[in-house]
C-alpha cells in the first residue's frame, strides 16, 4: 500500500513531531473509544489513525458491519480533539501503512499483547515505542449493537 498524498503532506508538515499511530474499525464511537484515543494522543504530539475500510470491516466483523460507512467513521474520528489525521486502509492488517508512516509510537487496546500487535517489531526495531492501553470497562461496539438488536 502506498500512502496517500495527504498523509505525505501531513507527515512532511509535522517533521520532528512525535507521531502516535493506532488503528481500528471505530464503527460506532463510544466513551471507551474517546478515552482510548485521548490516552494514545497523550503519548506523543500527533495521533494518526489507520481506519479499516468498509470491505476490511466486513471481513473482520461479518456481513452486517460496518454500521457506519468508512467516510462517516472518518468524519467522526476527525472531529475528535485527540485525532490529527485519519487514513483509510483496505488491507487485512495495517502493517504496510505502519511501515510507510514509521510512527514513533504504536498503540493498541488492552486486549493485545505487545508482541502480537501488528507492526510492533518494525516500530521497535526503528527506535519506537509500543503500548497496549487498557480499555474503559463496560464499553464495546459489538455489545452496543447487540443491545440495540435486543440480544443483550
pLDDT on residue 134: 82
Q: Residue 89 is part of which domain span?
A: 17-148
| Maximum separation of any 2 CA atoms in the chain, in Å | 49
Q: Is 59 a catalytic residue?
A: yes
Q: Is residue 47, in this structure, part of any structural domain at all? A: yes
Q: Which of 18, 58, 59, 136 is catalytic?
A: 59
Q: Is residue 10, in this structure, part of any structural domain at all? A: no
Each residue's pLDDT tens digit, 22-58 = 999 999 898 889 999 999 999 999 999 999 999 999 9
Please state whether the peptide bond connecting residue 66 to the residue before it is cis, i.e. omega within 30 degrees of 0: yes
Q: Is residue 8, in this structure, part of any structural domain at all? A: no
Provide the number of structural domains found in the chain. Answer: 1
Q: Which of 17, 61, 108, 136 is catalytic?
A: 61
Instruction: Report which of 103, 93, 87 is spatially closest to residue 46, judged by C-alpha positions.
Output: 103
Q: Is residue 2, in this structure, part of any structural domain at all? A: no
- Alpha carbon distance, N-terminus to C-terminus of the chain: 39
Q: Is residue 82, in this structure, part of any structural domain at all? A: yes
Each residue's pLDDT tens digit, 69-105 = 999 999 999 999 999 999 999 998 999 999 999 999 9
The CATH number of the domain holding residue 138 is: 3.40.50.620
Q: Is 61 a catalytic residue?
A: yes
pTM for the whole thing? 0.89
Amino acid at each position: 500500500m502506498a500512502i496517500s498524498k495527504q498523509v505525505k503532506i501531513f507527515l512532511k508538515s509535522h517533521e520532528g513531531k512525535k507521531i502516535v499511530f493506532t488503528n481500528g474499525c471505530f464503527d460506532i464511537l463510544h466513551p471507551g473509544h474517546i478515552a482510548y484515543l485521548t490516552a494514545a494522543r497523550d503519548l506523543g504530539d500527533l495521533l494518526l489513525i489507520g481506519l479499516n475500510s468498509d470491505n476490511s470491516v466486513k471481513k473482520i466483523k461479518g456481513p452486517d458491519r460496518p454500521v457506519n460507512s468508512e467516510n462517516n467513521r472518518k468524519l467522526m474520528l476527525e472531529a475528535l480533539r485527540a485525532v490529527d489525521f485519519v487514513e483509510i486502509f483496505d488491507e487485512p492488517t495495517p502493517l504496510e501503512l505502519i511501515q510507510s508512516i514509521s510512527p514513533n509510537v504504536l498503540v493498541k487496546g488492552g486486549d493485545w499483547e505487545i508482541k502480537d500487535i501488528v507492526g510492533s517489531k518494525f516500530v521497535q526495531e526503528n527506535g519506537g515505542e509500543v503500548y497496549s492501553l487498557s480499555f474503559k470497562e463496560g464499553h464495546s461496539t459489538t455489545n452496543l449493537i447487540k443491545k440495540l438488536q435486543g440480544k443483550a
